[in-house]
């Protein structure tokens, strides 16, 4: 019987967000592994989501932080026997690993199972960035419970070295340092090559005469689309036939960005594309002259890998895990976050020097192909089983 790797998500994955993207790609790679077979647990009471090859389970989890203080702990302890019994039946004896993505204190259920001798496998917590923020704000009993979890899981994985450093600084326990591992996200080379071979027609938003600056990311403040719009308005004064295309899932920052284009008199040259399927987004990477990611905070940035695969020159903020992908002046430019002038200048350099832009894109393509694939990431996860 094959061993089982149980992935856990706290939500029903109805859209291709970054965390879901990671989990699905790891599942796809494990589906080809004869020794370890993936399954997915969605921490909700019920749902309709399914995968073609991988079993999907639904189970509403609980943890002591659902209610404040001692009351929350007491309520959880009353409910926990039935919950732990259900989880024990789900995990069974052939589960080699329980791997929680976008980590919440729900992880404590699996720690208790292991403490009770009802689970013998590994517990891996995979952090993706914003899941670290509420953890840092925890206090009192909740904070103590988090540290109890850290002491009793096997590994804590972060998608960038910078995020690992943040986690280590928060935990502040040298004895647990060897549990914190960095495993970079990757790209699906097969999917990207298929999109390239398909050679679809240029998207209707792009004319052959235009120079295209592309940004892909959920419309939210941390992604910095407002900074890019301001930089674009400056660039339009000196560059004709320039277009800015912003693609992302609708969120609370969209309205502000749309209003900003009107205020800066560049509304006709900025295109907003909302809730576009990932396969269609790839068409725009192939047509873009420059990809820009002006994030205020970014744990890693898978979109930079996709831009790199298509040899698209990149300008990005020097934050989080981005410098682990972009080497400033070698395969892209890094600029300080929230700095409109430096962002505009860096984009301008690439617009004015097509040879430089092409060389940077080529170097980024080489780095992505060598270092950032899901094969690499999956192999690194599997190595943890023997660690």
How many domains does one find in the chain? 2
| Longest CA–CA separation in the chain, Å | 68
How many residues are recorded in the chain? 387
Is residue 140 located within the same domain as residue 282?
A: no
Radius of gyration of the chain (CA): 22
Q: Are residues 210 and 228 in the same domain?
A: yes
Structure token digits, residue 144: 């103590």
Based on the domain organization, do 122 and 195 belong to the same domain? no
Residues 346 and 378 in one domain: no
Q: Are residues 131 and 255 in the same domain?
A: no
The answer to whether residues 340 and 227 touch, using CB atoms and an 8 Å cutoff, is yes
Strand order in the sheet with 3-9: 56-58, 36-42, 3-9, 95-101, 122-127, 155-158, 180-182
Identify whether residues 151 and 8 lie together within a single domain. yes
Residue whose pair of structure tokens reads 């300008």 in the numeric block: 315
Residues 162 and 193 in one domain: no
Query: Distance (Å, rounded) from C-alpha 13 to C-alpha 22?
Result: 12
pTM, two decimal places: 0.92
End-to-end CA distance of the chain: 22
Calpha distance 107→92 (Å, rounded): 17
Residue 294: CATH number of its domain: 3.40.50.2000
Given this model, what pLDDT does residue 206 score? 67
Whether residues 179 and 121 share a domain: the answer is yes
Residue 251 sits in the same domain as residue 336: yes
Residues 220 and 171 in one domain: no
Give the count of beta carbons closer than 10 Å to the beta carbon of residue 147: 15
Are 236 and 168 found together in one domain? no
Contacts of the segment 171-175: beta carbons below 8 A, 24+ positions apart: 171/147, 173/147
Bridge partners, 132 (sequence order): none
Query: Which residues, in sequence order, are CB contacts of 4 under 8 Å at separation 6+?
Result: 36, 37, 38, 39, 92, 94, 95, 96, 97
| Same domain (yes/no): 7, 106 | yes
Domain that holds residue 249: 189-371
Single out the residue of 186, 194, 213 nearest to residue 301, CA to CA: 186
219 CB neighbour count, 10 Å cutoff: 23
Q: What pLDDT does 201 receive?
A: 52
Cβ burial of 244 (10 Å; 0-12, 13-18, 19+) is: buried
Contact assessment for residue 113 and residue 92, using Cβ atoms and an 8 Å cutoff: no
pLDDT < 50 regions, the chain:
none
Token pair of 77 as six digits: 């302890």
């Amino acid at each position: 019987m094959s061993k089982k790797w149980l992935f856990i998500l706290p939500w029903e994955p109805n859209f291709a967000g970054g965390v879901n993207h990671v989990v699905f790609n790891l599942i796809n790679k494990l589906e080809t592994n004869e020794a370890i077979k993936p399954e997915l647990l969605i921490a909700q009471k019920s749902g309709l989501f399914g995968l073609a090859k991988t079993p999907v389970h639904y189970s509403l989890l609980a943890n002591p932080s659902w209610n404040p203080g001692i009351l929350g702990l007491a309520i959880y302890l009353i409910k926990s026997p039935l919950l732990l019994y259900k989880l024990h039946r789900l995990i069974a004896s052939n589960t080699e690993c329980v791997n929680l993505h976008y980590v919440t204190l729900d992880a404590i259920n699996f720690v208790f199972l292991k403490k009770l001798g009802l689970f013998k496998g590994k517990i891996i917590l995979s952090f993706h960035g914003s899941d670290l923020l509420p953890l840092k704000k925890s206090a009192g009993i909740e904070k103590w419970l988090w540290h109890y979890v850290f002491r009793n899981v096997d590994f804590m994985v972060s998608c960038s070295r910078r995020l690992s450093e943040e986690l280590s600084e928060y935990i502040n326990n040298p004895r647990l340092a060897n549990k914190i591992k960095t495993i970079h996200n990757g790209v699906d080379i097969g999917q990207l090559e298929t999109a390239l071979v398909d050679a679809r027609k240029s998207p209707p938003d792009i004319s052959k005469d235009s120079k295209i600056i592309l940004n892909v990311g959920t419309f939210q403040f941390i992604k910095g689309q407002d900074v890019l719009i301001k930089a674009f308005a400056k660039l339009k004064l000196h560059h004709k036939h320039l277009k800015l295309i912003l693609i992302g899932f609708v969120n609370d920052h969209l309205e502000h960005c749309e209003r900003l284009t009107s205020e800066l008199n560049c509304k006709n040259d900025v295109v907003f594309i909302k809730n576009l399927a990932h396969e269609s987004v790839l068409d725009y990477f192939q047509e873009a002259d420059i990809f820009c990611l002006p994030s205020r905070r970014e744990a890693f940035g898978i979109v930079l890998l996709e831009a790199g695969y298509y040899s698209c020159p990149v300008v990005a903020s020097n934050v989080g895990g981005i410098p682990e992908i972009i080497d400033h002046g070698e395969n892209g430019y890094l600029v300080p976050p929230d700095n409109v002038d430096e962002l505009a200048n860096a984009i301008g350099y690439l617009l004015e020097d097509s040879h430089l832009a092409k060389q940077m894109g080529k170097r980024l393509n080489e780095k992505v192909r060598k270092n950032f694939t899901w094969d690499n990431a999956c192999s690194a996860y599997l190595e943890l089983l023997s660690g």
